[in-house]
Structure 1
Amino acid sequence: MQRQAEGRAGERIRAQRIRKGLTQIKLADLSTVGVRTIRELEAGRTLRPHPVTLRLLMSALGIPDDDHAVTAHSWESGTGQGDAADDLKPLSPLPATYGDFIGRADDLALLTGVLVQGQRLVTVTGFPGSGKSRLAIEVAGAVQKSTGIRVVLVPGDGEPVAAMHASASARSATGGHREAVLNSLSLGEPVLLVIDGAQRGVWPAGIPRPPHPSFQVLATSRRSLGLPGEIVHSLSPLAVPAPATQGTDACPAVQLLIQFIRRFQPDFRRTALTDHSLAELCRRLDSNPALLQGIAEDFSIFEAESLVGYVTADLVSAVAEAAPAVLAGAREVLAGLDAAETELLLQVSGLTPDWSVDDVANLLNEPPLRVGRRVRSLLDAGVVQPRAASGAPRFQVLRLVRAMTGGMATAPLSPSAGHA
């Protein structure tokens, strides 16, 4: 009876795989089950397939949980869902974060709504230090609160989720994510995977890939992952007032900087002069949360006006002191641009900090849609940001990026070929 159940399981998996047009290699990619294991199971040579292996394959193929041909062996061998439920540990809390969540209410509402409605894969992109990890935590918490879905935190190829904000105990809770994924599959429950620091072409070991039917994925990455069905949300810098604007109370970037300063100086007091300097610092540092946090530490030994002078005189050196990880990440981003992206970045870096796609298309004498796609790739990389303006969308290159590319050979804007 047991061998018959095993044979039916292999036959059912093979039939469903062929029906969906999947190769054994593709099924292995989706389910994280080894190709050899799939081959042996389909051939009926596996004597005792683990129930978690069956669940991984069932989920990847969309086979219903009550399909007896696949689950019979689990029931007969006494290692079915009951044991998995006993082994399942309570949910670990999401990583603790510091301070109020400022300036991202619209991003939070949009991404929460998209995931609650069932979107399978959402990738939050942005420049290093822009707050992708913090946003992912907030979104995951909101989705969990709204739907009750289980959230599993998975580190990508970098720091664990929100390493800058999380406590040591919370960071350690991200370990064992593979076990949590397998336990969730054993129970057949939906899961939201939060993969922080994902990279294109690289996927965490043992984690099913989209579009796996049992999982939704919320990823953070410097660039889009290029996977089927992916929705990309590019994170723009926080809003900061224009130089001539009076008042900073409603400015998210300034609010965040003050919150960081008071972490080191609880008695910090604002004046009209310091408010002006705070706004200028936010502008000079591209309203980047990690840079604002780094410079906030210096308020205990420098006046705000002095810090503005240091940042203005040598932005790259200031960033190297305040947030070296951001500078290192920025260098990696620039090194990762392809030749066409680098050429366009150098060209638009020479424009005034407020230009449109049409402006660039006219100067290059190229079709606007072609130029628009190239500008879109720079937005995706986070090196270009949108400018708040009425009428046609306008953009600017990040100040840090302009400072870093200032020493590179630049060419005047001219028609360029090969960018179809």
Structure 2
Amino acid sequence: MNSVRFSGLLREFRRHAGLTQQELADLSALSVRAVRDLESGRVHRPRRETVRLLGATLRLEGARRAAFERAATEHAESRSTPPDPALIGREAELTALLGLLREGGRRLVTVTGLPGVGKTRLATAAAEHLRLSGWSVNGGLPDRDALLLTDRPQDGPPIGELLRRHPGLRVLVTAPAPLRLAGERVLPLAPLPAPRPAPGADPADLLRQDAVRLFLAHLQRVRPGHRLDPAEAATVAELCRRLDGLPAAIEHAAEWCLIQPPRRLLLWARQSPLEPADSPAAGPLLRTALHRSISELTYTEAELLRHMAGPGRGAGRSFEQLLICTGIPAAELATAVHALLLRGLVRATPGATAEEVDSAERFTVPYLVRHSLAETAAEAEQLATQQATRATAQRTTNSTHPLRLLAATG
């Protein structure tokens, strides 16, 4: 797209100036072949000096000059390195995280969210930015500009003690939930937006969605050179929506494209999004992590989550509706909803329009979490049935044991 954009701009500006390719070449001291290659997109990396000469010859100024130079730069960057999937759609979150770490009074930052949402990848990218700017990352602990990056800390010295000993230390933690330490700032990381594709939506618009871009980036890794048919854009967008925009689930679904086209994966996801969300190489890691995240909830949080995921509640419930339906005291309910939001097990969505009576924000349960709840409930029911069957069999065995029969007959 960048290649077409740069070559198209060059051709448009040349024609607007009333110049032929030969005339532009003569005036800019370039060869006519160079101009032709640039306009056709055959030149992958236009030199900065070449771009400057062309801009001066075409008398580009202001916004037109900036757009021309930006297109050339984006062209070169897109050809030199493929997009990093870890940062697709995460520019705002990365900026926010770096801002928190650089603030003088904020020394402990925890990134929370669903398993597979990209907490570790975002934290690693932030740590790399700080390292390139001169910080010490996971090295020694000097008095200033040092960062400790840790994933779900369990062992080693307590974080509070480390912060007291080293005034210049910042600690960046990735975990399912906050550590609940003094001075902690929490950055909840949400999945990528994956709206329902509208009927007749422009494929180009769908391909620009962050979740779809992430799918395509991973698809290029398992099938280099593969190009998605524009007709498949709506299918991929719907698949990403069924996977809740969760980066790990999208990555695994792209891996399945080695043997299944996107339309088959969508049919699979409609039955259970957990199936294409499992890695074809590593197995049900994401499924297991989701089950574990649910198992770590308090009793109130677990009961509230099950209520919110009940039949017919896909549109979500407002806080007031939850207050009425659950009977949980307002303060306790607010704490439980907040905890579920930080874990990513519940997401907040806009309510009705302001003109309508019920315009409050609504809380919904993602598809993957709903199916994880259903699986854990089915497994618990199966386990209870097995235990009851074994208990009945044991009682029957005991009642028919020869010694018991002898005692019963005297």
Q: Which residue of 2 aligns with 1:209?
A: 162
Using the TM superposition, give the Cα deviation of residue 371 of structure 1 relative to its aligned residue in structure 2, in angstroms. Answer: 2.1
Gaps of 5+ in 1: 1-96, 153-179, 410-420
1:310-389 to structure 2, matched below 5 A, reads 310-322=268-280, 324-350=284-310, 351-366=313-328, 368-387=330-349
When structure 1 is superposed on structure 2, of 202-211 and 290-299 the one drifting more is 202-211
Aligned counterparts of 1:206 and 1:356: Cα–Cα separation in 2: 39
Using structure 2 for the length normalisation, give the TM-score: 0.62
- 1:106 matched to 2:99: no
Aligned counterparts of 1:314 and 1:99: Cα–Cα separation in 2: 25
- 1:254 matched to 2:212: yes
Please say if residues 196 and 221 of structure 1, whose CA atoms lie closer than 8 Å, have aligned partners that are also in contact.
Answer: yes
1:220-259 to structure 2, matched below 5 A, reads 220-244=174-198, 246=201, 247-259=205-217
Please say if residues 191 and 216 of structure 1, whose CA atoms lie closer than 8 Å, have aligned partners that are also in contact.
Answer: yes
Q: Which residue of 2 aligns with 1:402?
A: 370
Using the TM superposition, give the Cα deviation of residue 101 of structure 1 relative to its aligned residue in structure 2, in angstroms. Answer: 1.4
Which of 258, 280, 286 is matched with 2:238 structurally? 280
- Give percent identity, aligned residues only: 31
Cα distance change of structure 1 residues 315 and 345 upon mapping to structure 2, 3 Å threshold: same
2:337 maps to a residue whose letter is V
Please say if residues 249 and 276 of structure 2, whose CA atoms lie closer than 8 Å, have aligned partners that are also in contact.
Answer: no
Q: Which residue of 2 aligns with 1:126?
A: 113
Q: Which residue of 2 aligns with 1:307?
A: 265
Q: Which residue of 2 aligns with 1:85?
A: none
Aligned counterparts of 1:249 and 1:320: Cα–Cα separation in 2: 24
1:332 maps to a residue whose letter is R
The secondary structure found in structure 2 opposite 1:360 is helix
Cα distance change of structure 1 residues 321 and 113 upon mapping to structure 2, 3 Å threshold: closer
Aligned counterparts of 1:359 and 1:105: Cα–Cα separation in 2: 35
The secondary structure found in structure 2 opposite 1:386 is strand
Using structure 1 for the length normalisation, give the TM-score: 0.61
Q: Which residue of 2 aligns with 1:115?
A: 101
Q: Give a deviation string over 1:80-119, Cα, whole Å, max 9, x none.
A: xxxxxxxxxxxxxxxxx95461111111111111211221
Q: Give a deviation string over 1:127-186, Cα, whole Å, max 9, x none.
A: 11100011101222233445x22111xxxxxxxxxxxxxxxxxxxxxxxxxxx33xx34x
Higher relative contact order (CA 8 A, sep 6+): 1
Please say if residues 149 and 173 of structure 2, whose CA atoms lie closer than 8 Å, have aligned partners that are also in contact.
Answer: yes
The secondary structure found in structure 1 opposite 2:88 is coil
The secondary structure found in structure 1 opposite 2:127 is helix
Structure with higher helix content? 2
Cα distance change of structure 1 residues 359 and 400 upon mapping to structure 2, 3 Å threshold: same
Using the TM superposition, give the Cα deviation of residue 203 of structure 1 relative to its aligned residue in structure 2, in angstroms. Answer: 4.0
Q: Which residue of 2 aligns with 1:57?
A: none
Query: Based on CA coordinates, which of the two structures has the bigger radius of gyration?
Result: 2
Gaps of 5+ in 2: 1-82, 354-358, 379-410
Cα distance change of structure 1 residues 388 and 261 upon mapping to structure 2, 3 Å threshold: farther
Q: Which residue of 2 aligns with 1:43?
A: none
Q: Give a deviation string over 1:22-63, Cα, whole Å, max 9, x none.
A: xxxxxxxxxxxxxxxxxxxxxxxxxxxxxxxxxxxxxxxxxx
